[in-house]
Structure 1
Amino acid sequence: MNRQALVVGINRYPDLENLKRPAFDAEAIAHLLETYGGFRVRRLPVCVANEKFQVNPKPGYGEEEVDIKVLEEEILQLFGIGEKDCPDTALLFFAGHGLRKPRGLKEGFLATSDTNPEQELYGLALNSLRDILLESDVKQQIIWLDCCHGGQFIDVLNKADPGNAGKVRDRCFIAACSASETAYATGEHGLLTSILLQGLDPQQRQVGKWINNLFLADFVNQQIQTNEYWRNFPQRPVFNNSGGAIQLIQGVKIDKEETVSTRQPDICPYKGLQAFDFNETDPKYFYGRTALTGELIEKVRTGNFLAVLGPSGSGKSSVVRAGLLYQLKLGQRLLQSQQWKILPVIRPGEYPLQSLAEAFAEGNKTALRWLKDALNQNGAIALQEFVADVEAERVFLVIDQFEEAFTLCQGTAKQEAERQQFFECLLKALDSTENKLCVVITMRADFLGKCVEQEYAGLAKKIQEHLVTVTPMTFEELDEAICEPAKQVGLEVKRRLVTQMIVDVKDSAGSLPLLQFSLTALWQQWHQQWQQGKPGLPNQLTLNSYNELGGLKGTLEEQANKVFQNLSTAQKEIAKWIFIELTQLGEDAEDTRRQVTKYQLVETLGRGEYSEDQVEEVIGILNDEKARLIVTSDENGVSVVDIAHEALIRHWDKLREWVNAERKAIKLKRNIEQAAAEWESNGKTEDLYFLLPGQKLIAAEKHCGSVPLSYLAQEFIQISRLVFQRRVAEQQKTAEKNRSDERGQIITLIITLGASLAGLIPTIATIAPALIGAVQPVILAFNGLVAPIHINSVIFTLIVSLIIGMAMVTLSWMIIRFMKISRRTNKL
């Protein structure tokens, strides 16, 4: 491996104050790197003493001076700019004056021998050093600056593209102080050099072990925080590590005790279908995502929101939990990040505001009620106050499986409103907490479209501006993820098996859970043989065993079927409905997992044919460490059950068959349960608005015998039926009364009209002679045209009465018709 270093220690400055220690600092670092680090070291300025090259502490007239041209050319050569070949690892150490321009943009510089501020000559600009590193193809880049204002280099580098145009880099930057501080010396060396020499002491590591940049950063941190001597200095070293670990110094410590075997046969280094979590154990076996973890760290260093998106099974949760959070806790990548307040990881669930309150309550039930009420009433203002009350520089909140805000918080107007309030609360608080609150979300990439369906307080734009996509792992990363965990417990994964597993994973998107599950099954098989004392058992996982298990996809199917077939008939039916209950039906998307409280699961399935004890027993079987098809956990004192991973939903044929066969009934069941929950939240009112209407009630009653329903849902259906029957009875009673009233009204109307007609006849008879006299001239006028017409009073009276009677009958019919139409309108 080609490892090169350039160490620079400038004591002599013709136009600045001369220094005493930089050359000694540089030489001490150079000695360690050459002797114990395997570096080829170039020194500036250089001299020969005792037949050895050394950093020249007092270059005289005519001897090599480190002017800006010399330093820049040496750095360009170190990092392979313009060179045919470049080293694998390049390290630059600089000790001397560090300057900032007193006016303008306060640009930082490494002062060279020809520096003269009066002539606007400041030395090598930190911006130029940044540009060299960004252009360089050197994979491992190390910069240590023991000078004033050196921390500005980290600032200017991170203002550029932290991903370095897609190039994967392992980097270690350490500066003696921040951009605004002055660097000091103590004893023989500068402050930073003194700490580096202690941290790089090869006696701290056993023979064959390496001191790397992460250990060194941790050492610097501890010294500044715990060492009383260093803590009193008016400067604080700053650092930034990204990418993977860089080996610096090889240990020489020899332990007198016998070396203990690294084999730990009872520890499984793989996670099956579960994600690697943020705890003390899982990160030790989390490999293959170093570059992605480094990218996430850089994002949160400079911003307060991060959206990690990728397909299901791409490892989003693992890289955030066991990668990002664990590194922040260690404080080896970002200075002081170990002092940040990392809140418990949450999932939105059905009630995201309650989940948000749970993160801050941290298990305190009394506080939880108060926090939840505050969020419901005051939203972002309340969240801002929560953050302000936390005694830490930053408050870090991870919301895993963010898509649950769409898949679970839906179906009712109340939940839709809570979802909107949840988004507004988060985003407004981020804008108002002055970077103290940092939120990281993980979400399936196929749910990004859901974020643009509504405004959602600018959620879609926020995600697009702060997006990191989890891409498939490279060959090298998969190799590391397969082999390194096994090494930690003294096992070897045979090369043929590694190659075959990588080929299988590469051909199958979102298959990291299947990879972990297969590796877990291989370890379990090996462990069982080890427990049985199989003679000659090698510490190896082999391709033959992998093929016997069924390969990448067959292993999961085989294991799930094996667990299921070992159940009794009754247990199989219970298990079927456990898996169905833990599956969320997709709406224009794939089905996903659904978290359910254990109480709700047992109470729903333990009614009728099966007992609650039987349900509890099946949950235990499926959650057993040998099965691990479902997982149980405790969230704020409430036991919850979850399917181990969505890979089970996608790749277990039997589960897909169950869900597809019952899809219509499941959807109806979920709708009933959502409506029942809203009905309960409104005091179990008998208001028809909150109950099942006619056709929906009939459908619910039709299917309630074919799907298990909770007690609340069954009560909801019963009350809906009782209220519906009561309403029908009332309507029938009202209809009968209306018909009786109608008959009475018609009879009364006929009698009234008849009486009216009888009363009119005498009146008509009285006025008939006069009326006849009035119309007689008209009649006589037509005598010449038609036959003569003779009308007497009696006939005239009968004709008029008949006309009036017909008019009254028509009027009665119209009145009755109007009454019937009015009653129909009232019913509607």
Structure 2
Amino acid sequence: MSRDALIVGINSYQNLPDLGAAATDAEAMAQVLQTQGEFRVQRLPEVVEGQHLSIGQRTAVTTRALEAALIQLLKPQGNSVPSLALVYFSGHGLQREAGIREGYLATSDTNIVLGNFGISLSWLRRLLEESPVRQVVVLLDCCHSGALFNFKEANPAASEGYSRLFIAASREYEAAYESLSGHHSILTQALLSGLDPARIESGQISSHSLIDWVSHQLRSEIQQPLFECSGGEIILTRTAEFEQPVAKAKGSNLTHLKQLSYRFCPYRGLEPFTEKHADYFFGRDDLVQALIEKVQRSNFCAVVGASGSGKTSLLRAGLIHQLRQGRVPNSDTWEIRLLTPGKQPLRNLAAAFTSTSVNRIELAAQLSRAESLLRHSDTGISQLITKALTQHKTAESCPQFWLVIDQFEQLLTSTKQSEALQERQRFIHCLLTALCDPNLSFGLIIGNCSGGHEGSGLRTVSGS
């Protein structure tokens, strides 16, 4: 299950004064969450600058676009519900008096004269109450953002197993300010420093420690943030050392556990185990062995199970790790690429054929060429696989190319958008083309959610 973040920074306004720091604040937050929080970040507005994605300094964000992004994050369709959803907003905040006092997140097309105030915070509260996401963080760095707390409805995290963290820059009647001593607003500056996991010995920043830090940092400021924290602890960022595996001891699992001395709790809760966590991934040996046997017999294998049953951990910390260790003869020479379809499946598939050892300009060029081949050539994927194998081949090995696609169910959810449907169909067509090409050393492994109809266990399916 994923950790997803929507990062919004709006500088450009049609009917309000433009801002100077909102986009910069948002981009800084996006980078911290990506590098130290393991978040999948959606930027709004998103542009390509210097061959990488960033928050657009002068790009508009409409009310409709922000509303759709919030719904997609907090009430996603299908079974692809993230384990943690984070919303960060930096921009204008407005207040409206019409019998009741109500706060808004102003978007680029906000027009008070025409009655468009932007995103209503009362609407956002209702969306949060109905969200199936178990852990939600909302960080609002704008004027009047405290209006998010003005409600007497049931606490969104009152149900057992749900956790919420809300931080607002100011009370409902207060403005929010940029810092005079830095490049960021007062709140964002405190958040960025507070999210740095290197500042504490444990190397892990939680919702509780972030509140303590921000509260202490801003204790002498005129602008006082508001906090609401309920449910369990939410882990936000961690140091790289926190993820480093320890060399595995020989012997039984019990011997291994007795000899380990972790500086942290190895249990990841609802978070998936990855290759970095393989040394403390236990309990799936039989399933890993079954997968290895299927991979040896067939070029296609599917791992099917209910949401939260451990498919991602099995694939990443189990199967992929074992293959890279040479568990199958010569599998340590195979090209193994992992991806999730996401909202742009063809682009994410193209990214599997790029090299991380080149500079950003060449990487962007590789991505563009690969995506074009996949979209416009029936033999495009075969060409890409052949090229990848040719580059990887040595005199001592005959490598194979394996794609591991996690969360395959993202391709099977209902959609009314014809372009999205066509892209999904093209994605699947590419995979079938590669599987049916007798001249390719290609294999495909997918992880697919059963929608809970198969019970809580996992099962594997193979075929040719």
**TM-score normalised by structure 1 residue count:** 0.28
- Alpha-carbon distance between aligned partners in 2 of 1:83 and 1:72, rounded to the nearest angstrom: 19
CA contact (8 A) 2:190 2:218 kept: no
- Give SS of 1:119's match: coil
1:41 maps to 2:29: no
- Alpha-carbon distance between aligned partners in 1 of 2:241 and 2:18, rounded to the nearest angstrom: 39
Deviation at residue 164 of structure 1 after TM alignment: 5.5
- Alpha-carbon distance between aligned partners in 1 of 2:34 and 2:114, rounded to the nearest angstrom: 38
- Alpha-carbon distance between aligned partners in 1 of 2:240 and 2:169, rounded to the nearest angstrom: 27
1:139 maps to 134
Higher share of residues assigned helix: 1
CA contact (8 A) 1:204 1:251 kept: no
The structure 2 residue matched to 1:209, chosen from 203, 223, 246, is: 203
The structure 2 residue matched to 1:218, chosen from 194, 212, 217, is: 212
CA contact (8 A) 2:157 2:163 kept: no
2:54 maps to 54
1:149 maps to 2:144: yes
Structure 1: runs of 5+ lacking an equivalent: 60-64, 226-230, 255-475, 477-494, 496-828
The structure 1 residue matched to 2:82, chosen from 81, 87, 96, is: 87
After superposition, where does 1:500-539 map in structure 2 within 5 Å?
Answer: none
Deviation at residue 202 of structure 1 after TM alignment: 2.8
- Alpha-carbon distance between aligned partners in 2 of 1:134 and 1:67, rounded to the nearest angstrom: 24
Deviation at residue 125 of structure 1 after TM alignment: 0.3
1:293 maps to none
1:587 maps to none
- Alpha-carbon distance between aligned partners in 2 of 1:83 and 1:191, rounded to the nearest angstrom: 38
- Give SS of 2:172's match: coil
After superposition, where does 1:377-392 map in structure 2 within 5 Å?
Answer: none
Q: Which one-letter code corresponds to 1:172 in the other structure?
A: L
- Give SS of 1:70's match: helix
1:235 maps to 223
1:718 maps to none
- Alpha-carbon distance between aligned partners in 1 of 2:235 and 2:216, rounded to the nearest angstrom: 20
CA contact (8 A) 2:160 2:231 kept: no
- Alpha-carbon distance between aligned partners in 1 of 2:196 and 2:157, rounded to the nearest angstrom: 32
Q: Closer, same or farther in 2 for the Cα pair 1:34/1:23, shift >3 Å? A: same
- Alpha-carbon distance between aligned partners in 2 of 1:205 and 1:33, rounded to the nearest angstrom: 17
The structure 2 residue matched to 1:76, chosen from 71, 76, 80, is: 71
- Alpha-carbon distance between aligned partners in 2 of 1:185 and 1:29, rounded to the nearest angstrom: 15
1:176 maps to 2:169: yes
1:820 maps to none
- Give SS of 2:149's match: helix
1:193 maps to 2:188: yes
1:7 maps to 7
- Alpha-carbon distance between aligned partners in 2 of 1:163 and 1:43, rounded to the nearest angstrom: 25
Deviation at residue 103 of structure 1 after TM alignment: 3.6
- Alpha-carbon distance between aligned partners in 2 of 1:234 and 1:39, rounded to the nearest angstrom: 32
Q: Which one-letter code corresponds to 1:246 in the other structure?
A: I
- CA offsets 1:777-797 (integer angstroms, 9 cap, x no match): xxxxxxxxxxxxxxxxxxxxx
Q: Closer, same or farther in 2 for the Cα pair 1:109/1:163, shift >3 Å? A: closer
Q: Which one-letter code corresponds to 1:57 in the other structure?
A: Q
Deviation at residue 15 of structure 1 after TM alignment: 0.3
CA contact (8 A) 1:211 1:251 kept: no
1:710 maps to none
Q: Closer, same or farther in 2 for the Cα pair 1:78/1:163, shift >3 Å? A: closer
- Alpha-carbon distance between aligned partners in 2 of 1:101 and 1:251, rounded to the nearest angstrom: 42
CA contact (8 A) 1:183 1:235 kept: yes
CA contact (8 A) 2:85 2:137 kept: yes
- Alpha-carbon distance between aligned partners in 1 of 2:8 and 2:65, rounded to the nearest angstrom: 11
CA contact (8 A) 1:77 1:83 kept: no
CA contact (8 A) 2:8 2:90 kept: yes
- Alpha-carbon distance between aligned partners in 1 of 2:171 and 2:78, rounded to the nearest angstrom: 33
Higher share of residues assigned strand: 2
- Alpha-carbon distance between aligned partners in 2 of 1:234 and 1:120, rounded to the nearest angstrom: 31
- Give SS of 2:170's match: coil
Larger radius of gyration: 1
After superposition, where does 1:492-641 map in structure 2 within 5 Å?
Answer: none
Q: Which one-letter code corresponds to 2:11 in the other structure?
A: N
Deviation at residue 85 of structure 1 after TM alignment: 1.8
2:91 maps to 96
Higher RCO structure (Cα 8 Å, ≥6 apart): 2
The structure 1 residue matched to 2:232, chosen from 244, 266, 282, is: 244
- Alpha-carbon distance between aligned partners in 2 of 1:138 and 1:163, rounded to the nearest angstrom: 11
CA contact (8 A) 2:141 2:169 kept: yes
CA contact (8 A) 1:177 1:235 kept: yes
Q: Closer, same or farther in 2 for the Cα pair 1:253/1:218, shift >3 Å? A: farther
After superposition, where does 1:417-432 map in structure 2 within 5 Å?
Answer: none
2:299 maps to none
Deviation at residue 237 of structure 1 after TM alignment: 0.8
1:124 maps to 2:124: no
Q: Which one-letter code corresponds to 1:148 in the other structure?
A: C
- Alpha-carbon distance between aligned partners in 2 of 1:83 and 1:145, rounded to the nearest angstrom: 28
Deviation at residue 129 of structure 1 after TM alignment: 0.7
User: Number of paired residues?
Assistant: 242
Deviation at residue 163 of structure 1 after TM alignment: 5.5
- Alpha-carbon distance between aligned partners in 2 of 1:152 and 1:16, rounded to the nearest angstrom: 20
CA contact (8 A) 1:205 1:251 kept: no
- CA offsets 1:409-458 (integer angstroms, 9 cap, x no match): xxxxxxxxxxxxxxxxxxxxxxxxxxxxxxxxxxxxxxxxxxxxxxxxxx
Q: Closer, same or farther in 2 for the Cα pair 1:163/1:110, shift >3 Å? A: closer
Q: Percent identity?
A: 40
Q: Which one-letter code corresponds to 1:176 in the other structure?
A: A
After superposition, where does 1:324-335 map in structure 2 within 5 Å?
Answer: none
After superposition, where does 1:330-341 map in structure 2 within 5 Å?
Answer: none
Q: Closer, same or farther in 2 for the Cα pair 1:15/1:83, shift >3 Å? A: farther
CA contact (8 A) 1:81 1:135 kept: no
- Give SS of 2:53's match: strand
- Alpha-carbon distance between aligned partners in 2 of 1:40 and 1:168, rounded to the nearest angstrom: 22
- Alpha-carbon distance between aligned partners in 2 of 1:132 and 1:69, rounded to the nearest angstrom: 15
CA contact (8 A) 1:205 1:250 kept: no
- Alpha-carbon distance between aligned partners in 1 of 2:92 and 2:156, rounded to the nearest angstrom: 30
Structure 2: runs of 5+ lacking an equivalent: 243-268, 270-282, 284-464
- Alpha-carbon distance between aligned partners in 1 of 2:157 and 2:224, rounded to the nearest angstrom: 27
Deviation at residue 115 of structure 1 after TM alignment: 0.4
- Alpha-carbon distance between aligned partners in 1 of 2:217 and 2:156, rounded to the nearest angstrom: 30
- Alpha-carbon distance between aligned partners in 2 of 1:179 and 1:163, rounded to the nearest angstrom: 20
Q: Closer, same or farther in 2 for the Cα pair 1:168/1:155, shift >3 Å? A: farther
- Give SS of 1:195's match: helix
**TM-score normalised by structure 2 residue count:** 0.50
Q: Closer, same or farther in 2 for the Cα pair 1:123/1:44, shift >3 Å? A: same
CA contact (8 A) 2:7 2:26 kept: yes
- Give SS of 1:189's match: coil
- Give SS of 2:41's match: strand
Q: CA RMSD in A?
A: 2.0
Q: Closer, same or farther in 2 for the Cα pair 1:253/1:222, shift >3 Å? A: farther
Deviation at residue 167 of structure 1 after TM alignment: 5.3
- Alpha-carbon distance between aligned partners in 2 of 1:66 and 1:3, rounded to the nearest angstrom: 23
Q: Which one-letter code corresponds to 1:185 in the other structure?
A: E
Deviation at residue 154 of structure 1 after TM alignment: 1.8
- Alpha-carbon distance between aligned partners in 2 of 1:163 and 1:135, rounded to the nearest angstrom: 8
Deviation at residue 205 of structure 1 after TM alignment: 3.5
